[in-house]
Amino acid sequence: MNTSDRHHAASLKPNRRELLGLSAAAAGAWASTALKSAVAADGVEPVRTAVIGTGGRGSDLIRSLTTIEGCDLVAIADDYPPHLEKAAKFAGPQAKPYSDYHKLLNEVKPAAVIIAVPLYLHYQVASDALQAGCDVFCEKTMCHTVDEARKLAEEVDSAKAVFQVGLQRRANPIYQQAAAMVQSGVLGQVTAVKAQWHRNNNWRRPVPVPKGHADWTKLERKLNWRLYRDYSGGLMTELGSHQLDVVNWLLGDIPKRVIASGGVDYWRDGREVFDNVFCLYEYELPPLAGPRPDPNAAALPNGGTSETSLKPYTVRVTYSSLCNNAYEGAAELVMGTKGTLYLTSNKGLFYREKLADDVGWSAKKTADGGSVDASVVTSGKTLKLSNSPWAHRGEPLEIDNLLGDDTRDELVSFLDHVRRDDVQTICDAREGLRDTATVLTANRAIDEQTSLAIPRV
């Protein structure tokens, strides 16, 4: 692919502001069509693809890549032989294994590189792949520091490369539907979000040699890199990044500041990353970037004038992640003045708010449709509401994921963008940078025990 093509594609990139509201819904629908066209593309030149990092997540990506018609998986790389050997079986005989990814880049010259190495290596590997002229798919979180993420985003821009961050909810039809609902005002004004990822396990990977073995410490740190600060940002980068990306996407901006608390309070086993985190983010949304004002809405209690309604308003978002109680699982709850969205990767639920005009007095009709001239009809037994504690929520509108696996779909979308040399991927480097700044600032706020502004990126 040549540079002038890339430049052309980059110049077509629409301004982010234009993607709010209904056009965002259309963009979502278009993205789904693109997924299908790529899968069905018979006779299309396959993209020569390599995977760097073949542990658990890398193997997931490898398995998905081998089911995509337009993908030619030519090579895989990992410096840990057991992972490379295991992944080679999933990758197939046509994929050449490498222990050194530099050698892979030099010898194989893939068109696209998929990166699933530990977080602290993301910047270096991605930067090397860009240098080698590759388009890049990099697992989340994009980088280990905000500075690295900023540098990487600049390098992507100047290379005019196709770049996507592995935040796969962007490819999930439930979240695409949710984004369209939020941005077209179905929820009214979104005023708060509550998100969490709660699990109950020690988050440790087993080490293949017994404790006391000469290599145990080295291997333990290598395989459990998620638990050590030199390699990982812990719960915020490994889990929170997915969900705060959803919030950034749905609200159309990144937060202004964060207050957070966390610690190593239960799994006191030598890990350095927090085993529980609680964050409170403040987003300041200009009215135009938020949901459309409802022309029928009642006046605000303070007699809201057009002037006050133009002021930015604050949306507060709480986020928590635990390793010792799984009751709430992983979900996001998006709360608006007209309704609530409960979101998970395989199920979405939308509950309408009970609004003031729902009391039923204004419609002077009996249940069977006959007109009455009384304000209320009485006598006989009390009309009882259901005893169910959930009754006030009413029946939800259900949003199902019937289309498939978002990991596979995000890769189909990426390869489709590579083939068309379209840099406007479903989660580009700028989005990755915003996500990185959002989650890493919370970690810093916990360490410094203060509220911190999110760097404007």
Residue 195 makes contact with another protein by CB under 8 A: no
Sign of CA dihedral 247, 230, 129, 111: negative
Stretch that binds another protein, among 111-119, 335-343, 379-387, 394-402 (CB under 8 A): 394-402
- Residue 40 or 355 having the CB closest to another protein: 40
Residue 38 makes contact with another protein by CB under 8 A: no
Stretch that binds another protein, among 145-153, 198-206, 258-266, 315-323 (CB under 8 A): 198-206
Kindly state the smallest distance separating residue 204's Cβ from another protein, in Å.
Answer: 5
Q: Which two tokens stand for residue 440?
A: 């890493």
Q: Of 4, 15, 158, 211, which lies in the binding site for another protein, with binding defined by CB under 8 A? A: 211
Query: Distance from CA of residue 119 to its chain's centroid?
Result: 16
Stretch that binds another protein, among 14-22, 274-282, 397-405, 414-422 (CB under 8 A): 397-405
- Which one, of 111, 129, 153, 117, lies nearest residue 432 by Cα? 153
Residue 404 makes contact with another protein by CB under 8 A: yes
Kindly state the smallest distance separating residue 206's Cβ from another protein, in Å.
Answer: 4
Residue 63 makes contact with another protein by CB under 8 A: yes
Residue 90 makes contact with another protein by CB under 8 A: yes
Stretch that binds another protein, among 47-55, 258-266, 352-360, 396-404 (CB under 8 A): 396-404
User: What is the C-alpha separation between 10 and 162, in angstroms, rounded?
Assistant: 9
| Contact indicator for 287, 206 with CB cutoff of 8 Å | no
Amino acid occupying residue 254: I
Q: Of 89, 102, 354, 392, which lies in the binding site for another protein, with binding defined by CB under 8 A? A: 89
Is 110 exposed, middle or buried, given 0-12, 13-18 or 19+ CB atoms closer than 10 A? buried
| Contact indicator for 298, 304 with CB cutoff of 8 Å | no
Pairing status of strand 112-115 against strand 47-52 = parallel
Residue 207 makes contact with another protein by CB under 8 A: yes
Cα 154 to Cα 59, 418, 436: the distances in Å are 29, 19, 15
- Residue 191 or 202 having the CB closest to another protein: 202
User: What is the C-alpha separation between 320 and 387, in angstroms, rounded?
Assistant: 31
Q: Of 132, 264, 403, 457, which lies in the binding site for another protein, with binding defined by CB under 8 A? A: 403
Stretch that binds another protein, among 6-14, 64-72, 115-123, 285-293 (CB under 8 A): 64-72
**In DSSP terms, which residues pair with 194 in a beta bridge?**
318, 333
